Amino acid sequence: MSKSKKPWPTKEAMTQIYDLHLWGGNNHDFYSGEGSHDPEIVNPYLEKIIEFLKSFQEPLTVCDLGCGDFNIGKHLFKYTKNYTAVDIVETLITRNASTFKAENLIFLCLDIAKDKLPLADCIILRQVLQHLSNAEIAAIVNKLQHYKYVLLTEHIPNGDFTPNIDIISGQGNRTKKQSGVNLLKAPFNLKVKHTTLLHTHQLPNNKGLITTTLFQVF
């Protein structure tokens, strides 16, 4: 009988990040970092995503993978038919579910690399994959083919970079290696019907770009 594979350490790493407030915030609540709270980053993003969601006569069902402290999602769910917000940190999901309530809103604690994902028209992946290993990203990419739209936001370096250099999950992102996630490149090779760059935000002090891309998968 073969030994089972060692589980990916993502759940423990992400739980520690929130428990120790490694992304900032105070000691009394969960905080998903400046990328989810800085108005210069958040407001243009919300404008583009809300514009996309409102463009449909029939509202979309949306699954937000890696919803974090829900400082972003709380502005979006009202424009959807149903909004499922997912995160790997159990205490965070418990807090979100008790704080944000609506008939079309549900919170689930899932490991998006290992667990079956909810059905939806559209996936939101906002600055999530940048923290994950290539093995986990590949597992997630295999599931994205079941969704019509994917809204992907990633922190990437300025200028040319080598895509998809592997990292250990939960230990920063690839920008320190002059790399960033590109799902269309090897080893992921996501097949899409159409790609639209929705928004780019230049971070100060040459810290890179935050880009949001819409993939129409089928």
pLDDT tens track for 12-64: 877 887 887 777 887 668 888 888 999 999 999 999 999 999 999 999 999 99
User: For the residues 113-117, what does the mean pLDDT come to?
Assistant: 97
At 107, the pLDDT band (50, 70, 90 cuts) reads very high
How far the first Cα of the chain sits from its last, in Å, is 40
Q: 4 lies in a domain?
A: no
Residues near 67 by beta carbon (within 8 Å), at least 6 away in sequence: 73, 85, 86, 87, 96, 107
Q: Which two tokens stand for residue 217?
A: 């998968």
Q: Is 192 strand, coil or helix?
A: coil
User: Is residue 139 scored above 70 in pLDDT?
Assistant: yes
At 2, the pLDDT band (50, 70, 90 cuts) reads very low
Q: 1 lies in a domain?
A: no
Q: 2 lies in a domain?
A: no
Q: 182 lies in a domain?
A: yes
Q: What is the pLDDT of residues 183-218, one digit of tens each?
A: 999 999 999 999 999 999 999 999 999 999 999 999
| DSSP labels, 51-117 | HHHHT-SSPPEEEEET-TTSTTGGGTGGGSSEEEEEES-HHHHHHHHHH---TTEEEEE--TTTSPP
Q: 191 lies in a domain?
A: yes
Confidence at residue 170, expressed as pLDDT on a 0 to 100 scale: 83
Q: 96 lies in a domain?
A: yes
Distance CA 127, CA 17 (A): 15
Give percent above pLDDT 70 in the chain: 95
Q: Cis (ω within 30 of 0) for the bond into 187? A: yes
Q: 5 lies in a domain?
A: no
**Phi, psi at 160, each rounded to 5°:** -70, 145
Q: Tell me how many domains the chain contains.
A: 1
Distance CA 47, CA 193 (A): 24
User: For the residues 114-141, what does the mean pLDDT come to?
Assistant: 97
Q: What pTM was computed for the model?
A: 0.91
**Pick the residue with more confidence: 168 or 27?**
168
CATH code where residue 120 lies: 3.40.50.150
User: Is residue 94 scored above 80 in pLDDT?
Assistant: yes
User: For the residues 106-131, what does the mean pLDDT come to?
Assistant: 97
| Average pLDDT of every residue of the chain | 93
**Phi, psi at 183, each rounded to 5°:** -65, -20
Distance CA 106, CA 124 (A): 15
Dmax over Cα atoms in the chain, in whole Å? 54
Dihedral sign of CA atoms 212, 172, 41, 60 in order: positive
Confidence at residue 31, expressed as pLDDT on a 0 to 100 scale: 84
Confidence at residue 16, expressed as pLDDT on a 0 to 100 scale: 82
Q: 61 lies in a domain?
A: yes
User: For the residues 168-182, what does the mean pLDDT come to?
Assistant: 93
Query: Which residues constitute the domain of residue 87?
Result: 10-216
Q: Which two tokens stand for residue 132?
A: 């994950």
